[in-house]
Amino acid sequence: MTLKKYRVPAWLIFLIMVSASTCGAAFGAVLDQRLQNALESTAAEEFVPVIIQFAEPPEIESFAVRGLRRGEEQAAARAKLIRHLRSHAEGSQQNVIRYLRQQRVAGERTLWLINALAVKLTASQVEDIAAMPEVESIRYDEVIRLSQPVPTVAPLAVSSYNLNAVNAPALWALGYEGAGVVVGVMDSGVDVTHPALADKWRKNGGWFDPYRDTSEPYDPVYSTNPEQSGHGTAVTGVILGGNNIGVAPATQWIAAKIFDDEGNADNSRIHEAFQWMLNPDGNDAPHIVNNSWGFEKEINKCIDEFRLDVQRLKTAGIAVVFASGNTGQEGDISPANYPESIAVGSVGEELVVSTFSAVGPSACDNAIYPELTAPGELIKTSTNDPAFPYALYSGTSFSTPHVAGVMALLLDAFPNASVGELETALKASATDLGETGPDNFYGYGLVNALAAYGQLNIPPVAARLRAPANGADLVGSSVVFEWARGTDANGDPLTETLVYAENAAFSPNTSVDTTSVESTVLLLGAGLLLGAGLWSMRRHGAMSVLLLCLAAAGLLLVSCGGGGGGGDSAPTPVAVVKYQVDGLAPGTYYWKVVTEDSHGAVSESDVWTFTLQ
């Protein structure tokens, strides 16, 4: 039999090549260079610590905790996010875990926050797992070292210039010291016996030690460099310490010990700590997480090892701040240079950038770096040495907790502020230093607690007058005033006052506090009528439904009117006040409603007039 020769079309060859390359990519996980180097330098049966990365869960943004008030609603939203992350991790990791059991490999740790596994594997096991389609990458579980400056012992009488520099006492004077706020500290630990910190520890879900699983916080004295220990205790003192060392002295702390007893940290342990912060032993998450650490030996690089962790915490409505690093003018570091992080640089008492403070721009997105500055030179704070409980520390490690503390003060004042609102307010209100405008030495400027407070203090939406209509002619001595109550974007309690007078200057005038006057929510009434209509249809037919729906529609139109203004296409419930005043003499009257929030911000309605015959 003679075989015919066929020419294979060029497009078919190209399609086969593309398909082959695509399949190769789909069924071969990426191994990072450090892991490849480690595998090449170890024996075949030697175990290497790795982090196995799986695909991210879909639709994560739909689980974001946005615009929710503190309390049960926010906790429920975070719980839903956690369930989603756990469920996705469990489903995508089951084949790898089954393989580990077959290989008699134990001790894996599930990093459900980022959908990864931390485990020790041999080279052949790495090869087997890398071939699994659900595995995206495998990387070496590296160790980083905590940069720790040597402190100078300070007597208790030494003044704390840094607190005045960030304007913290101005918010204390207004009654805001961080009450009701919890800050998470990821560091070397915290000396829970220190007199400035002991009574501020939140015991429920307040301590995580991934190395020794200890039950109470401690901050070890390093056997190799004892004078460099106590980093976490010093950082926590700047945030909230008593005895006039902390920015937010009424705030509580919880802590995750990400560095071991000699100041070294596995990447996987840091991932576990971020994960714990989202769900600390089943208790409420902190509002802010302080990170006075980073990859200081990897300058001008975007190392995204922890970027997903930071994104997840911010998705859950948790603020995350990082030290910009002590690299001086050599450049920026990760994770501070992530777009999602707030990087904090250092200035001294003269408000000049510190020589050690890292400069930008960010290697991740070329953005301004650092974003904020705070005092970081000779900062008086707590130590883990009972013989010398206070010392002076320098470094961006100690400028960073100033920002965490100021955030705590602001959340005390504005409990419903979102992470985005806090960050925007801090940048917009920072005291500009150096060149005019943001720059890569001072960022947006020196953090200013009082100015940020003013930035967040949004005046309430003014009341909308409804009746009597502007310019109305009335008969009699009694008038029923009607208006839609003001509202507040911050969720602050409001005081509302009706003011009327016989002159446009409102001097003299009559003022009536109508805060406690019962309001009617018109849209709610419409909803009840519509509901009644549906019930009535079953008993009395379509005519009843028609009449009730017409009544409901009337209420909807009234509620959206606002004294002559048109309604929105999607109306919201309107709280309407009716207040009757008797015994008025004939004449022309001017009236308005004044709305004031709990922070003293005031808004006034329009001024309307009416005439009594």
pLDDT at position 476: 94
Query: Identical fold at 162-456 and 464-612?
Result: no
For domain 28-141, the CATH class is: alpha beta
pLDDT at position 559: 41
pLDDT at position 27: 41
Task: Tell me, letter by letter, the H, E, C secondary structure of 175-225.
Answer: CCCCCCCEEEEEECCCCCCCCCCHHHECCCCCEECCCCCCCCCCCCCCCCC
Confidence of residue 132 (pLDDT cuts 50, 70, 90): very high
Beta-bridge mates of residue 262:
none
**DSSP classification of residue 101:** H
What integer best gives the mean pLDDT of the chain?
A: 88
pLDDT at position 44: 87
User: How far, in Å, CA of 11 to CA of 9, rounded?
Assistant: 5
Report the share of the chain in percent with pLDDT over 90.
Answer: 77
Asked whether the CA dihedral 175, 176, 182, 183 is positive or negative, the reply is negative
Q: Please state whether 468 falls in left (phi above 0), alpha (psi between -120 and 50) or beta.
A: beta
Q: Could you tell me which residue, 372 or 32, shows the higher pLDDT?
A: 372
Domain boundaries, the chain: 28-141, 162-456, 464-612
pLDDT at position 557: 42
Beta-bridge mates of residue 153:
391
pLDDT at position 14: 36
Asked whether the CA dihedral 183, 188, 190, 196 is positive or negative, the reply is negative
Which residues neighbour 368 within 8 Å (Cβ) at sequence distance 6 or greater? Answer: 360, 361, 362, 438, 439, 440, 443, 444
Confidence of residue 571 (pLDDT cuts 50, 70, 90): low
Pairing outcome for strands 207-208 and 252-257: parallel
Architecture of domain 464-612: Sandwich (2.60)
Mean pLDDT along residues 313-334: 96
Mean pLDDT along residues 505-528: 80
State residue 252 phi and psi, 5-degree precision: -100, 160
Q: What is the pLDDT of residues 484-513, one digit of tens each?
A: 999 988 778 999 999 999 999 999 999 999
Q: Output b/e per residue, 370-381; b: 16+ Cβ within 10 A.
A: bbbbbbbbbbbb
* Range from 129-133, 210-214, 597-601 carrying the lowest mean pLDDT: 597-601
pLDDT at position 486: 95
Q: Please state whether 385 falls in left (phi above 0), alpha (psi between -120 and 50) or beta.
A: beta
Confidence of residue 17 (pLDDT cuts 50, 70, 90): very low
Report the share of the chain in percent with pLDDT over 70.
Answer: 86
Residue ranges in 316-366 assigned as alpha helix (H): none
Q: What is the pLDDT of residues 465-477, one digit of tens each?
A: 999 999 999 999 9
**pLDDT over 90 at 225, yes or no:** no
pLDDT at position 62: 84
**pLDDT over 50 at 526, yes or no:** no
Mean pLDDT along residues 447-464: 95
Pairing outcome for strands 510-513 and 494-501: antiparallel
* Range from 200-209, 212-221, 339-348, 549-558 carrying the lowest mean pLDDT: 549-558
Q: How many CB atoms lie within 10 A of CB 580?
A: 9
**How far from 222 is each of 164, 219, 262, 368, 604, CA to CA, in Å?**
33, 9, 5, 36, 61
pLDDT at position 504: 96
Residue ranges in 119-167 assigned as alpha helix (H): 123-130, 161-165
What angle do the packed helices 33-40 and 123-130 form, to 10 degrees?
Answer: 140
Strand ordering across the sheet containing 519-521? 464-467, 479-484, 575-581, 519-521
Confidence of residue 68 (pLDDT cuts 50, 70, 90): low
pLDDT at position 71: 80
Enter the CATH code of domain 162-456. 3.40.50.200
